[in-house]
Structures are given as structure tokens and as C-alpha cells.
Amino acid sequence: MNKYEIAVWVFMLAAFLGFELIRRVSPLLHTPLMSLTNAISAIAVVGAILITGAQDATPLSKVLGFIAVVASTTNLVSGYLITDRMLKMFKKRGEKK
Amino acid sequence: MIETIFPILYILAAAGFILAIKWMNSPTTARRGVVVGEVGMLLAVVGTLLRYEVVNYEWILIAFFVGSAIGVPIAYIMPMTAVPQRTAFSHACGALAAALIGTAEYYSHTPHGFVMAALALETLLGFLTCTASLMAFGKLQEILPGRPFTYPGQNFVNLGVFGAAVAIGVTLVFSPEKTWLFPIFIVLSLVFGVLLIIPIGGADMPTVIALLNSYAGLSASAMGFALDNKLLIVAGALDGSSGFILSVIMCRAMNRSFTNVLFGAFGAIQSSAKEAKEERPVRSASAEEAAEILDAARSVVIIPGYGMAVAQAQHKLREMYDVLTRHGVDVRFAIHPVAGRMPGHMNVLLAEADVPYDRLVEMEDINGDFSRTDVALVIGANDVVNPAAQTDKTSPIAGMPILRAHEAQTVMVIKRGMSPGFAGIPNDLYYMDKTLMLFGDAKSFVTNIVKELGSAATAR
């Protein structure tokens, strides 16, 4: 199996896992769920680091990579923080603040 | 040594993301989910920084700092009503990052075959999601007009631009050395993102935001294919399927087909809404009368909509909930899946106001109870309680599942005036004999009801 084939397998399985997991999430939490998955999509930061920090990085890819790290860090930080801020508010009856 | 560590960190990071989503299935475990998601992201970043390919740290660290300096204030300053905008903006950031990485990768390595195809997909999805999300942000923040904008041949133009972008993408896959094509590819992707959102109105935003979530994820996944990075593939696929499912749920809640949404053709139906009918009599009531009826009721179901968010009435509504509950009234909130501007929007606002989440009931669970409900109080919602969706086959919203408020003994609707709602569809609910219209701003009207309830209690 070449590496591209493996990659497609990984994608397929992860997508189905995603379907199964998300289907179980109560509509009550759909907004925090979207915030969380939005924060997870900031995983693009991995690619951004690899481009920016590479030995052979050209000035162009350094500049683009720099912007990409800034953008994905913004996404990452605000995504996680606001998800937690939202979830903190969900309380049952009688639960203390 | 380090070469063996980072794959382990990546695998743990992927497991973290999966657990994070799994734990979102209940409010009791959700916060644990966020923590494990954060740990996953930390492992991914640390693992990447440790890789031998990464040698220059200055720029990365500065960028981390700048990104956090933007992200932290956004997360803490944004009011809860602005969560849809924030999410749209965040999508734009993530998608921009993916698109720029694709661009940088193309110019530095000029890849071929499979990698180039993944890269083209990543860049296309990234740039179009970026501008589309910024457009959605603008509409939600009301920088841009929220009404759908349509013109003849719109779908033709949209498909033309999209087709051209795809054609250039395919050309680049077969002959990547044609570097002059790449800027055109970028511009077409950016333009398509804008065109995609132009015909979409505020009421359709829940579907669109979910869909953009999916695109951003798929873009990250495509990057994973291009960079041969399984962590990116997994995280992107989770995100992509999540956004996809949510948008399907939203479509179902509006009775729209998914293809309709994919091509951004919706929003247009609103123009086909019928002319407003002749003036019909309505019954209106004061806050005092409303308070009396609510106080005398045994069960009350409150139906919030986007109007509640606009008026910031959720805190006053909670006060009303408290008083009524103390008086022995059973008060619940009925949540329609597309109420608000993003999936689950109402739940977050009511949670912010400290309404216990076990009092928030989904549409399917509460619809059977309306006939046994004394008062249905509609606040800032319109189309989601329009009986025409089920009775009138010619209505633009025909077939859309609704909250069956019209089955309650008494219906009260807090509304500014008699103007039809966003979709411009007349609502027969307002003209029913058992319906009382409470004219006024949602927040001040609820405030008055709370006052009346308070004075009634002391008079007892």
C-alpha cells in the first residue's frame, strides 16, 4: 500500500468516526460543538509551522507561513477559550454557579 | 530519537480530538472535552516544533504571540449574542491559514500528481471559505446588508466562476509548471466565496455557518494529504463531517434539500412570498393582562427566536421564569433547531442567563405537549411557529417542521409590530382567536411583565 492509499483510508475512517460522534451530540450543545470543531480545524497551525520554520523556506513562504501561523493561532486560541466560556454557563436546576 | 517522539505525540493529539468531540455529547462531560482538545492541540504544536525540519523559531514564536494577542480578547470581549459572528470570523482565519500554506507549498516545491491535486483542493476550499466566512461575518455583524441579494442568472454566474476555478485547478494538476495560472486560481476562489454568500439571508445563516465549518475542515484535511500528515487528515475529517452533519440537520429543520444549499441557491425563495393579505383584526393585550394570564397558568412554554437575541431579552426572561416557577407554574423553553443565527444559538443565550438546561426542550420532544399547555409565549420567533408551514401547500415554507404553538390554550406573541417576519410570509397564528399580541420591545415588555408579576405576588 503506498502512502497516498493509506492517507485515503485514514480520511475515510476518520470521516465516519466523525459522523458517528457528532450524531450523538445533543442539539443543546450544537453551538459549543461548532466552536470546538472550529478550534480543532486550527490544526492547520501544524502545516503553518512546518512551512515557516523550514530550513529551505523562501522569503515568500516565510511571509505566507507567518500570516498562516498568526491566523491559525487566532482561530485556535479564541476557539478553545470561547467554547469553555460557553460551556461554563450550562447548568442544571439547583446547580451552584 | 525525536523522529520517534513526534509520531507518538501526533497520535495522542488525534486521540485527544476524538475524545473531545465524544465528550461533547453531554453538558456534564463537555468541559472535560475542551480540556482534552486543548491538550491534543498542545501536543500537536509541541510535536511539530520538535521536528527536525523546523529550524527557525523566531517568526513562529512572534506569530504565536500576535495570534494570541488577537484571539484572547476576541474570546473574552465578544458578547454571547455575537457568537455566530465570532465563529464565522474564526472560520475565516483557519481557512486563510490553510490556503496560504497551500500557496507557499506550491511556490516552494511545485508538486506533481496526487500532492498537487490535494494542494489545489486545499487552496480552493481555503480561499473560498475565507471570503465566504468574512461575508457571513459582515452580514451577521450588520456591516453588510443582511437581506439576500439576488439578480437574474445568479446561479449561472456562480457556477461559471466555480467551474473556471475547478478547470484551472485541474490544469495545474496536470501541468503544475504553469505558475502564471496560480494567481488566477486564487482570485477565482476568493471571488466564488463572495458570490456564494451574496444571495443568502440572515435566517439561513445556521446552515451556512455549519457548511463553512465543514469546508474549513476539508481544507485542513486536504493539506494533510499534501503534506502527508495523518494528524491533519484526521482532525480535518472530524471537522468536515461535523459541519456537514450540522448543515444537514439545519436543512431538515427548514425542509430544504441539501443540493439547494450546496449551490447557495436558497434565500431566493423569499422573493416568491405572497403579498401581505388585507388588514385583519388582532387581539392585543397589556403587560398587566399578560402577567395575569401567565400567573394563572399551570404550564407555560416559551418559544424564543432571533428577536430575543437582538433585544437581549434573555436575562429578563430568566427573571420571569424564576418568578413564575416560584408561583408554581411549570415553565419550559421550546427550542427550534434553526432558531437564531447558528445551530444551538438559543441554548447558549439562555444558558448565559442561567436558565437550567433541563428546561430547554427540543422540538420533537415538546410538540406533543402543546395541546396540554396553557400558554405558549412566542418571543422574537416567527416562521418557526407559522402554521402555514403545515397547512398551506403553496407557502414558501411549506413542509418546514414547526413548533406547534397554535395548539396551546392561549398563545401570546411579543412583537414590535405587525410587519411580517424575515421571510415576509404572513403568519396566521397572529390572527387566531386565542392569540394575544403583545406589542413592544421584547426586553422592555418582559421587564413589565416581571414587574406586574412581582406586584401581584405582594398583593396576595
In a domain, A78, yes or no: yes
Cβ pair B101:A48 closer than 8 A: yes
Domain count, chain A: 1
In a domain, A65, yes or no: yes
Cβ pair B344:A33 closer than 8 A: yes
pLDDT at B272 over 50: no
**Nearest chain B Cα to A48, which residue?**
B101
In this prediction, residue B275 has a pLDDT band, given cuts at 50, 70 and 90, of very low
pLDDT at B202 over 80: no
From the candidates A11, A41, A95, which should be mutated to test the interface with B, based on the most B CB atoms within 10 A?
A41
In this prediction, residue B239 has a pLDDT band, given cuts at 50, 70 and 90, of very high
In this prediction, residue B424 has a pLDDT band, given cuts at 50, 70 and 90, of low
Cell readout for B174 is 496536470
**Nearest chain B Cα to A75, which residue?**
B90
Tell which B residues from 25 to 64 touch A, by Cβ distance under 8 Å: 25-27, 30-31, 33-34, 37-38, 40-41, 44-45, 48-49, 51, 53-57, 59-60, 62-64
Residue B148: per-residue pLDDT: 74
Told to judge if B383 belongs to the known catalytic residues of this protein, a careful annotator would answer yes
Which of B67-71, B403-407, B452-456 is predicted least confidently? B452-456
In a domain, A31, yes or no: yes
The answer to whether B12 and B235 are in contact (CB under 8 A) is no
In a domain, A19, yes or no: no
Q: What is the mean pLDDT of residues B341-350?
A: 91
Dist CA B432 CA B310 (whole Å): 26
Q: Which residue has the higher pLDDT, B183 or B1?
A: B183
In a domain, A73, yes or no: yes
**pTM of the shown model:** 0.89
Nearest Cα residue to B133 out of B34, B235, B205: B205
The Cα of A97 is separated from the nearest Cα of chain B by a number of Å equal to 9
Range of the domain at A52: 27-89
CB pairs under 8 A between A and B: 377
Burial B134-168 (b: 16+ CB within 10 A, else e): bbbbbbbeeebebebebeeebeeebeebbeebbeb
Residue pLDDT, tens place only, B98-148: 999 999 999 998 898 899 999 999 999 999 999 999 999 999 888 888 777
Residue B268: per-residue pLDDT: 45
Partners of B436 in the β-ladder: B283, B412
Q: What is the dihedral of CA B59, B60, B61, B62, to 10 degrees?
A: 50
Which of A55-69, B13-27, B178-192, B264-278 is predicted least confidently? B264-278
Residue B426: per-residue pLDDT: 79
Dist CA B189 CA B205 (whole Å): 21
Strands B375-379 and B360-362: unpaired
Q: What percent of chain B has pLDDT over 90?
A: 62
Report helix, strand or coil for B283.
Answer: strand
Burial A40-79 (b: 16+ CB within 10 A, else e): bbbbbbbbbbbbbbbeebeeebbebbbbbbbbbbbbbbbb
Residue pLDDT, tens place only, B29-60: 999 999 999 999 999 999 999 888 888 899 99
Q: One of B383, B392, B428, B433 is an active-site residue; which one?
A: B383
The answer to whether B320 and B291 are in contact (CB under 8 A) is no
A96 CB neighbours in chain B (<8 A) are none
From the candidates B10, B347, B365, which should be mutated to test the interface with A, based on the most A CB atoms within 10 A?
B347
pLDDT at A95 over 70: no
Mean pLDDT over all residues of chain B?
88
Q: Residue B229: how many CA atoms within 13 Å on its side-chain side?
A: 29
The answer to whether A27 and B344 are in contact (CB under 8 A) is yes
In a domain, A77, yes or no: yes
Residue pLDDT, tens place only, B381-399: 888 899 988 888 877 778 8
Per-residue DSSP letter, B339? S
In a domain, A96, yes or no: no
Amino acid identity, residue B392?
Answer: D
Residue pLDDT, tens place only, A18-69: 999 998 898 899 999 999 999 999 999 999 999 999 888 899 999 999 999 9
Q: What percent of chain B has pLDDT over 70?
A: 92
Cβ-Cβ contacts under 8 Å for B405 (sequence gap 6 or more) = B301, B303, B334, B370, B376, B378, B385, B411, B429
pLDDT at B271 over 60: no
Dist CA B323 CA B295 (whole Å): 9
Dist CA B119 CA B111 (whole Å): 8
Residue B279: per-residue pLDDT: 66
Residue B124: per-residue pLDDT: 96
Beta-carbon neighbour count of residue B110 at 10 Å?
12
Residue A1: per-residue pLDDT: 73
ipTM of the complex: 0.95
In a domain, A95, yes or no: no
